[in-house]
């Protein structure tokens, strides 16, 4: 063995061939961190100096090839200066360049995921042979950056400037078929014959049948496009960056980099890449998106710890059908847990089954599910008007009307029918779990399991610990939610939990802005321009005017010292006119259906006349900056109070609740990460400008203390 490191091994294969194998100890995947780069540099030095080597096969000893860089190292790196970051990536990029300039041909055998830096390493090889089961790509844009280890220079030289830009800006994973068609790889093979095909390719290069020296020389040259040609080839990527990624500076920087580097040779393009990467890494989006990645990993770790004591869920039940119940049943059945869907009305069951059929049909239409599989999933949902089979279920999800007395009655009925070990959960959005548990004989088996609508698209499930909920019940629901493909976050019981608790002062701020004369549509435009998927008026229409009113009323009653909606608010006025939002086609906006049956938002001149009652001093223009600040500060302050009150265990959990459950723009990193970005002292100071508008603009004690001491929710 020529080299035996912790992450890399080099073995002789005979006939002058060697295998450089990435095999990272006992860890499940290979990654490019400081240790891996240090060992790769040493391995390259050994290979360059060793006599008699004719060719090298680059392989992985794991199921994946290399999944990319170690993102955990980025948190410290991105705190460095732009120049230091550029120097860091330039140093690592030079190691990959040295790999590609060994005095003999190299072939990368891509057996599984080769993403980010892992794919960039494969790009440095002379040839690539890819398994049909593998995926490749440069997903860095989802972290607010772009490839920094040579990807922006090497990829366009293989597949063309336009296609290379599209891969970089989309961040999408690519199949072997696509990669071969675009010549990102030189051959593909099924997993069983991948190694012999890769060795055959290496043999062709060693024998001279494949001219690897000429290929290297060509890939070092400029792309040969004029500035006009480069601009034309990059037009699609530039449009995508402008239209779809307005809050990701890295997308715009990447297009500019590709355009500027098109006329440069490879080495000059690599130098330019490192410089631009340093600039991208210092943007708010990059810091925030790396923070989200870290928070997501923490949530996965927590869920895994609960899984150790979770009871298996082999069959479930949902009580309450309709669109929500149908979505829950679909998600459970799709992920392999059969489910009973119970309701007291045949029409509600029909609606729930129709929802499940629609969602399955979409999966089939998109090629994600075969028709026979879809039929089997649907068959594992049992609609019923009775409680038949409830003695066989492990988990029940109550999702009936949001009325305390009704829910208590239904929960008592369920408890009398299920087994002693069954966990009963409530999908309540705002009622306290402790209040619902009062009439139950086994409150230790009762818990909140709050889904968000539409269930298939919204990742979050708030797992709400009641005053007497057992650890095993929590573990079981966390495990079930994870099995359903959701992200469970365990929260403490309080009015509104995290998402609706933080949403309530945000909506109160909106209602106050309307009362002060702001145009609701202008507020929507300002918040959507800030990055929200929908403005607050549109959000209320989607949630439902009645449900929004109920949530604000219930949560405000739980925190009367600081939450109070204005009298005769816009919601009050429109609700009185029976304008319920999308559910009946009239809310702040009106809604028609497009060709696929999806609701299409349209302005309604009548809304302005109706809202005159909610604007006692008439209309006035309020600037976007004021709108954004008045909307965001109450959200920040309530999220901070959730941490202060122990509703969540850490700032990252509060932030992920709002990102996954409310659609908070990801480039912010979360409400508390955004507060850190603004500076807590500045946030506290700006609150004073709006304190006359109510207590929602009063920060809690913990935020004030952090601000006074120069602290942060995410300290360095």
Q: Nearest 5°: phi and psi at 398?
A: -85, 125
Question: Whose structure tokens read 């999966």?
Answer: 363
What CA–CA distance (Å, rounded) separates 576 from 165? Answer: 52
**How far apart (Å, rounded) are the C-alpha atoms in residues 57 and 9?**
12
The span from the first CA to the last CA of the chain, in angstroms, equals: 42
**Catalytic pick among 225, 240, 252, 450:** 450
Q: Would you call 225 a catalytic residue per the annotation?
A: no
Which among 124, 132, 134 has a CA at the least distance from the CA of 67? Answer: 134
Pairwise CA distance, residues 714 & 671, whole Å: 12
- Strand, coil or helix: 529: helix
CA distance 270 to 516: 54
ω before 454 within 30° of 0 (cis)?
yes
Handedness of CA 673, 677, 682, 686 (dihedral sign): negative
Q: Which two tokens stand for residue 339?
A: 């489910």
The answer to whether residues 317 and 342 touch, using CB atoms and an 8 Å cutoff, is: yes
Q: Is the peptide bond before 39 cis (omega within 30 degrees of 0)?
A: no
User: Residue 384's closest CA among 320, 480, 332?
Assistant: 320
Residue corresponding to tokens 């935020």:
703
Find out whether 123 and 149 touch, Cβ atoms under 8 Å.
Answer: no
Contact at 8 Å (CB) between 645 and 493? no
Rounded to an integer, what distance in angstroms lies between the CA atom of residue 251 and that of residue 279? 12
DSSP tag of 70: -
The owner of tokens 């999702």 is 399
- What size, in residues, is the chain? 716
Give the list of residues 6+ apart from residue 471 with CB closer than 8 angstroms, or none. Answer: 309
User: Which three-class secondary structure string do you get for 432-466?
Assistant: CHHHHHHHCCCHHHEEEEECCCCCCCCCEEEEEEC
Q: Which residue has the tokens 């409830």?
A: 390
Closest CA to 429 of 409, 446, 452, 457: 452
Contact status, residue 480 vs residue 337, Cβ threshold 8 Å: yes
Residues 204-239 as b/e (b if ≥16 CB within 10 A, e otherwise) read: bbbeeebebeebeeebbeebebeeeebeebbeebbe
Query: Could you list the active site residues?
Result: 450
């Amino acid at each position: 063995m020529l080299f035996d490191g912790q992450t890399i091994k080099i073995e002789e294969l005979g006939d002058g061939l060697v295998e450089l194998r990435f095999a990272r100890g006992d860890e499940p995947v290979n990654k490019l961190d400081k240790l891996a780069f240090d060992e790769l540099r040493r391995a390259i030095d050994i290979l360059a100096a060793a006599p008699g080597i004719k060719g090298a096969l680059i392989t992985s000893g794991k199921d994946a090839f290399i999944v990319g860089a170690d993102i955990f190292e980025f948190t410290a790196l991105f705190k460095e200066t732009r120049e230091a970051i550029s120097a860091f990536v330039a140093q690592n990029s030079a190691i990959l360049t040295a790999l590609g300039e060994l005095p003999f041909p190299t072939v990368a055998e891509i057996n599984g995921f080769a993403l980010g830096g892992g794919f960039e390493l494969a790009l440095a090889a002379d040839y690539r042979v890819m398994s049909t089961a593998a995926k490749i790509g440069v997903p860095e844009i989802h972290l607010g950056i772009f490839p920094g280890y040579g990807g922006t220079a090497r990829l366009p030289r293989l597949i063309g400037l336009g296609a290379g830009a599209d891969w970089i800006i989309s961040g999408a994973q690519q199949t072997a078929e696509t990669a071969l068609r675009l010549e990102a790889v030189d051959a593909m093979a099924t997993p069983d014959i991948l190694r012999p095909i890769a060795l055959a390719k290496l043999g062709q290069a060693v024998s001279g049948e494949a001219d690897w020296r000429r290929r290297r020389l060509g890939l070092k040259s400029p792309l040969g496009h004029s500035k006009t040609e480069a601009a034309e080839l990059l037009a699609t990527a530039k449009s995508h960056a402008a239209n779809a990624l307005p809050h990701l500076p890295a997308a715009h920087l990447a297009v500019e980099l590709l355009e500027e580097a098109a006329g440069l040779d490879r080495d000059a393009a690599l130098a330019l890449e490192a410089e631009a990467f340093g600039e991208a890494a210092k943007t708010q989006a990059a810091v925030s998106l790396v923070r989200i990645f870290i928070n997501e990993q923490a949530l996965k770790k927590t869920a895994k710890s609960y899984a150790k004591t979770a009871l298996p869920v082999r069959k479930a039940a949902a009580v309450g059908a309709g669109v929500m119940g149908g979505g829950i049943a679909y998600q459970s059945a799709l992920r392999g847990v059969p489910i009973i869907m119970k309701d007291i009305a045949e029409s509600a069951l029909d609606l729930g089954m129709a929802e499940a059929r629609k969602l399955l049909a979409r999966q089939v239409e998109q090629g994600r599910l075969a028709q026979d599989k879809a039929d089997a999933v649907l068959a594992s949902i049992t609609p019923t008007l009775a409680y038949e089979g409830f003695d066989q279920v492990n988990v029940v999800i109550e999702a009936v009307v949001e009325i305390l007395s009704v829910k208590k009655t239904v929960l008592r009925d369920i408890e009398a029918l299920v087994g002693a070990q069954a966990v009963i959960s409530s999908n309540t959005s705002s009622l306290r779990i402790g209040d619902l548990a009062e009439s139950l004989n086994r409150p230790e088996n009762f818990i909140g399991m709050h889904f968000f609508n539409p269930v298939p698209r919204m990742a979050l499930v708030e797992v709400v610990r009641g005053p007497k909920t057992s650890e095993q019940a929590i573990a079981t629901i966390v495990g079930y939610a994870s099995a359903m493909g959701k992200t469970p976050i365990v929260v403490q019981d309080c009015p509104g939990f995290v998402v609706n608790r933080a949403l309530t002062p945000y909506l109160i701020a909106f209602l106050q802005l309307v009362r002060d004369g702001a145009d609701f549509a202008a507020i929507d435009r300002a918040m959507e321009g800030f990055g929200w998927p929908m403005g607050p008026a549109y959000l209320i229409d989607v949630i439902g005017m009645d449900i929004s009113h109920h949530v604000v009323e219930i949560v405000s009653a739980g925190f009367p010292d600081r939450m109070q909606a204005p009298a005769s608010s816009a919601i009050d006025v429109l609700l009185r006119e029976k304008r319920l939002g999308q559910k009946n086609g009239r809310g702040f906006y009106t809604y028609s259906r497009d060709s696929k049956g999806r609701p299409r938002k349209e302005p309604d001149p009548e809304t302005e006349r109706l809202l005159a009652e909610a604007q006692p001093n008439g209309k006035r223009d309020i600037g976007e900056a004021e709108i954004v600040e008045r909307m965001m500060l109450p959200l920040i302050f309530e999220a901070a109070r959730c941490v202060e009150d122990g509703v969540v265990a850490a700032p990252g959990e509060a932030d992920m609740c709002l990102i996954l459950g409310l659609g908070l723009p990801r480039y912010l990193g979360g409400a508390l990460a955004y507060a850190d970005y603004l500076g807590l002292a500045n946030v506290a100071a700006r609150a004073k400008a709006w304190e006359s508008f109510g207590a929602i603009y009063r920060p809690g004690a913990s935020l004030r203390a952090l601000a006074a001491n120069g602290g942060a929710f995410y300290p360095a």
